[in-house]
Amino acid sequence: MYQNAFVLTGTIGSGKSTVANFLKLYGFHVIDADKITHEILEKNTDKITEIFGKQILENGKISRQKLGNLVFKDKNKLEMLENFLHPKIRDKIYKNCELPEISGFPYFVDIPLFYEKNNYKNFKKVVVVYAKNEILKERIKKRNHLNDEEAKNRINLQMNIEKKREMANFVIDNSGDLKHLESEILKFIKGLKNEYKNLKI
């Protein structure tokens, strides 16, 4: 059990990465599951190409955009990819928690599919970055250059954000602008200081 770990999760477009960057600015250690995924994809290029074909490659490397376009249209393919990647990602995340855990300070683990995968039994504290579905849809349409239907499909591949909000131990609301988000993060950090008296921020 990692007592000092706080899982940071949400859904596509909710702004987890922005929150993670703010937390880093405030001096917190953040373990990034997305970065770990990238490393695992690179190490397993041959195996993943064997499963999904050479169409996912660009200059001999896996194009995350091409792979994403392929799996987000097909739940079976998405499941195949996740079954291959997630045990490896989880093991690496746990390994990366060992050092910060000893410090006795709170640290964060950014895991996009924490609730969907339901296989991170060593984490008990969960922070959900929240925004309403309509806001999520508009954000990912803009960011990923998707139409209305494509954006909706991406969101529907993950657990509903309202359900995640109910299950969370902590919620950081990201429905407004950056100023609003920063005030939400500071409110959350203030709460942390009550639990960690030695926290100086």
Q: Does residue 199 surpass a pLDDT of 90?
A: no
Q: 183 labelled as ligand-binding? A: no
Give the 3-state secondary structure of residue 92: helix
Length of the chain as a residue count? 201
Taking the C-alpha atoms of residue 155 and residue 45, their distance in angstroms, rounded to an integer, is 27
Up-side HSE of residue 41: CA atoms within 13 Å toward CB?
Answer: 19
Give helix 75-103 / helix 64-71 axis angle, nearest 10°.
130
What Rg value do the Cα atoms of the chain yield, rounded? 17
Q: 17 labelled as ligand-binding? A: yes
- Identify the band that residue 57 occupies on the pLDDT scale cut at 50, 70 and 90: very high
pTM of the model: 0.88
Structural domains in the chain?
Answer: 1-29+108-192 (3.40.50.300), 40-104 (3.40.50.300)
- Identify the band that residue 5 occupies on the pLDDT scale cut at 50, 70 and 90: very high
Taking the C-alpha atoms of residue 2 and residue 109, their distance in angstroms, rounded to an integer, is 11
The enclosing H or E element of 68 equals helix 64-71
Beta bridge partners of 6: 108, 125
pLDDT digits (tens, 9 = 90+) for 80-124: 998 899 899 999 999 999 999 999 999 999 998 899 888 899 999
Q: 13 labelled as ligand-binding? A: yes
Q: 18 labelled as ligand-binding? A: yes
